[in-house]
Amino acid sequence: AGAIAVLLTAYNYSNICEGQIRRLKAITSAEAGVNYAYWKIRIGKDDSGNDIVYPCTLQPPIAVPAGWAFQVTITNDSPHKIQSKVTYPKSRVQ
């Protein structure tokens, strides 16, 4: 019984750590998306090289793992509001 408890504890700890790593990657990617949007606002060009027309949606050239989605939006409010959103699977098993 003791060995089973140790194995279950190790398994659960591993799952918790993987979840934390995915969350940290998502937060870091979202922050990079905000910086990307600031840069695009500063140069005034969208992803295609055209003048930005607000509101706009950007797809930053930031690599994310398969199954993840990444999108940055900029509103036409004054000042502009930036939303950087990263979605990812909550578990590795799909």
Per residue in 31-88, pLDDT tens? 999 999 999 999 999 999 999 999 999 998 888 888 899 999 999 988 889 999 999 8
pTM: 0.74
Measured from the Cβ of residue 72, the count of other Cβ atoms closer than 10 Å reads: 24
Q: How many helices (H) and strands (E) does the chain have?
A: 1, 3
Determine the Cα–Cα distance for residues 7 and 24; give it in Å rounded to an integer: 26
**How wide is the angle at C-alpha 47 spanned by C-alphas 46 and 48, nearest 5°?**
90
